[in-house]
Chains A and B, each alone.
Chain A
Amino acid sequence: MTHSNAVPGIELFLDVPAAVPLDEVLIGVVRVVNSGPGTVTVSARVNLIEGDLTVAVTAPDGRTGRAGWPYPVDSLPRTIELGPGEALAGSIPLLVDGGLTPVFPVAGRYSLTARYQAAPGAELIGAPVSVERQAPQDDLAAQALQDRDVLQSLLSAAEMGQAAGSLAALAIGGEPMARFLSGLALGSPGQVRQAAQELAVGVGDRPADPLSAASALNAVLPTGLYTGDQRREAVIDALTGVTDARVRAMLDGLPHDAEGGI
């Protein structure tokens, strides 16, 4: 259910896994869906970087905060037309507040509510969703994901400060999303390609999930803002054979049929 006070027929959805351990990076997928009868023009900036999208977080102890992006930016508006029944999907890294403070400091159930400035003066509010942040299986990895330099590196898709050691460890032995983003930060096309392929085709008990690779990429190097960035190429190469319309739409920054879900 979406609350919207200014854009009739436009809905906002935030999708997150039901449970994610604290030694993994939580990536959310945000969908702007046109369920109305006509074509509408909405902001295409479905990311945390440019500031149209924010996520309110309620911690297990009731404290409230916000998941955000640590670097304030200036940028142009970007818009896109959504036909009836179409959706635009973006993805977001739920790691830090507006600074570099981890947004999930302890295990427990968190409530998340997305807000999106779909157009000037038109804010969409998604229905709250919850995620269980489970105790980590790897304490060191969980600690690394609370480290300032590691967080900066994952979000910047570039190695920052003293994060090299932790990134290398995460890129080799981390959970899938953490492994993917660490490889991206280390500028290691091989590791990124391998992590993307593992996500796309599945490994062991893990089912194929090509959308997760596209989501992880778009979370830090979103289409539209970073289209053409060389760091995206290894992932796009790895997903060349993926024909899933949702994945292609996310990588291309285009709308897709909303009935297909995401």
Chain B
Amino acid sequence: MTLISIQGVTKRFGDIVALDDVSIDVADNEFFSLLGPSGCGKTTLLRILAGFEQPDTGAVLLDGKNLVGTKPYHRPVNMMFQSYALFPHMTVRKNVAFGLEEERLPRSEIDTRVEEALAKVGLESMADRKPHQLSGGQRQRVALARAVVKRPRVLLLDEPLGALDRKIRAEMQLELKRLQHEVGITFIVVTHDQEEAMSMADRVAVMHHGRVLQVASPVELYEKPSSFFVADFIGEMNFLEGSLQGDRFVVPGVGSFAAEGQASEVRWLAVRPEKLLINPTEAANRLDGTVVDVSFYGALTHCVVSVPGLQTPLRANVTGPLALTPGATVTLGWNPSDSITLS
């Protein structure tokens, strides 16, 4: 069931178009991610959902009711800020209680719900500390508790893991997912980190230059990117430039390969590095080249192969170690069903 429906939202700042006719539907209880490089408009969209910005045109419906023009403090939507934005003069407990106090709930209910929320993020013992006495990870939990305690219909998270170091980040990723299941609130997470989006979200909207390029599940985004930008932005990708003639993709000066697509539009043939096979016994498409570099990463080995006629070398990832040294001649192969044609 659709909870939030963003319909044709456009937002300009002076001459800059931050959002260009954006339409997205987010389902109830979904973990949704807005993904894109900085300046793509994802944060502006989040701020429109929170009520800090007004769209120039378009509508934002929550349960079918238009939210545009509603003040931030009258929306059943809460936000976790990138900087956490904790109130520095209040204790952790006071921070978490703030939203409930502003709702004028009875004291006893406030106290129970604050304790509950603190327990949920494992901060009961820190309740009487001030924000400056907490670590980055703990601050983030306070920010989370403070937003969740209001039981909003939608929780907006702006780069929730951006300010944390690597190890805590992985931990918090799992924790955010767990929390979302537990509280049953729709999460909309803004991030520029594709791994973060892919690993946490049910669906991801990839944004670029104020437009939504593709909305899909992480697996679909990875396997069936709809544009060059998405194919390039999500994971690693090898691109061959050429044109489609019948059922062959022709790369001038290199060769032709079996592929599918619509002839007039296709400009790129894309293959994931892990779909490129090295010296395959059987593969419909083949290319010869020279090994430039072999990097061993434990579970994976990255092999960079330069192919005569191609400007950028191709990359093949294989599991386990690889008995090749730079300078060796190899054949790269792939199956047509593992390649994607893009315009």
Are A and B genuine complex partners?
no
| A residues at B contact (CB < 8 Å) | none
| B residues at A contact (CB < 8 Å) | none
